[in-house]
Amino acid sequence: MALVVQGYTFLQQYAVSFVQNVPKKNQNALKMGVISTAQINAAAAIHPAETHPDVILYGIASRTLESAKTHAKKYKFQKAFGSYQELLDDTEVDFVYISTPNGQHYEWASKALKAGKHVLLEKPFTSNATEAKKLVEEADQAGKVLEEAFHWQFHPAAHKWRSIIDSGRYGQVIATDAKMTASPGVPHGDIRWQYDLAGGSAMDATYALNFTRYALRAKTPEKILSSVARPYNKDARVDAAMYTNALFKDGRNGNTVHSRIYTDLARSWVGGLIPRVWELPMIEVDCEKATIFFYNAMMPHLYHYIAVTGKATGKTEILKQYSGGPLWSNVQTTGGKGGSSLWSTYRYQMEAFVMKLKGKEPPCWVENEDSIQQMETIDEMYEMSGLGARLASKQR
């Protein structure tokens, strides 16, 4: 279950921070600014930056100076800012990590690009595809790096999983089934439930769609067959759950694949008594000769397995990959060749992001066009469900 996994990641990153030495920062290290004091910051950006010799924890901004100072002291940032704009106005900042609520992603990423900063932007990329296209255009005009933080795609386990599918050993892909749920559910009052902040399960649990598109090397769906929302009981404009059936074109061979995508921020308990904490984000890929199951695709650094079950034999092979793998094995990283088994998905992401900023070509990357296609698909899912695409900030 997503919230449980996030909680464990915070604990894991805290523990790893004691195991891994904080390296001496290089003379030309980049200065990172963090926009917002969201809970995810520590695992997603702060701890990865601590262990990277080319990143300095320079500044953190909040809506109040008091909050910013509290977080700056806790995480040893050099500066605290009482507004997001104040941080962007500081010419010392090289790049920003943005973890504001969904509905504010476009606004602050746009302002950061205009201020001459590179941007690592939390998912979902924006509120809708229109904003996504505008943001990418602005990044191109500014000549700055803009990256959607689909951190899971940077981990060796993701690369191992897709390499199995790509190998063709198990035949063509017939269907996929991806799920991401929360049980116990997201608490009432959380920003994920707020329509004005572009909340909803298809937005926050967008990983399920991303697993699917990544597995298939797919763009937007050929057709969405159905997309049915279970409305949030306190605001019918927001989806507590979304059930989608779509047809995607396999990017490897052009074949049509049927895909099921299920997201749920308030998954029912077993018998009304037991939360489904074992339901970690997952995807099953049904091929002609085998099923390829990736358990905990979202945060495989904590725990994961890839189960390949042959249809003819019924036998299952269990595979895992915590470092190296198809893309990182021959790469000399700041943690050694192939990275480190102690690295989280976020740390691998930070490694690739800094490589990009330093003018090197990282072994893996989330292209801006892919982020636009992700938002176009989410828009289509919402339109099909009858809820309508999430509105841009100026429309709300």
> Domain with 254 in it: what CATH number?
3.30.360.10
Q: Which domain-ending residue is among 113, 128, 150?
A: 150
**Is 175 found in the same domain as 139?**
no
> How is residue 88 written in tokens?
């962007």
Question: What pLDDT is recorded for position 19?
Answer: 59
**Is 130 found in the same domain as 267?**
no
**Is 256 found in the same domain as 375?**
yes
Question: What pLDDT is recorded for position 22?
Answer: 78
Within a domain: 395: no
- Compute the distance between CA of residue 142 and CA of residue 145 in angstroms, rounded to an integer: 9
Question: What pLDDT is recorded for position 273?
Answer: 87
123 classed as catalytic: yes
Using alpha carbons, list the distances in angstroms from residue 225 to 102, 164, 243, 333, 381: 27, 28, 11, 44, 10
Predicted TM-score of the model (pTM):
0.95
**Is 294 found in the same domain as 163?**
yes
Starting at the earlier edge strand, list the strands of the sheet with 118-121. Answer: 79-81, 55-61, 30-35, 95-98, 118-121, 146-148
Q: Which domain-ending residue is among 132, 150, 168?
A: 150
Question: What pLDDT is recorded for position 10?
Answer: 53
**Is 302 found in the same domain as 163?**
yes
**Is 115 found in the same domain as 241?**
no
**Is 202 found in the same domain as 144?**
no
Q: Choose among 57, 34, 44: nearest CA to 9.
A: 44
Domain extent, residue 220, equals 153-328+369-385
Question: What pLDDT is recorded for position 166?
Answer: 98
Q: Which domain-ending residue is among 124, 150, 176?
A: 150
Question: What pLDDT is recorded for position 392?
Answer: 85
**Is 126 found in the same domain as 246?**
no
Question: What pLDDT is recorded for position 1?
Answer: 46
Within a domain: 110: yes
Within a domain: 287: yes
> Domain with 14 in it: what CATH number?
3.40.50.720
Within a domain: 233: yes
Tell me which of 79, 111, 117, 123 is the catalytic residue. Answer: 123
Number of domains in the chain: 2
Within a domain: 348: no
**Is 292 found in the same domain as 264?**
yes
Question: What pLDDT is recorded for position 83?
Answer: 98
Within a domain: 228: yes
pLDDT, averaged per 10 consecutive residues of the chain (396 residues), comes to 52 56 91 97 97 98 98 98 98 98 97 98 98 98 98 98 98 98 94 96 98 98 98 98 98 98 96 90 98 98 98 98 98 97 97 98 98 98 98 70
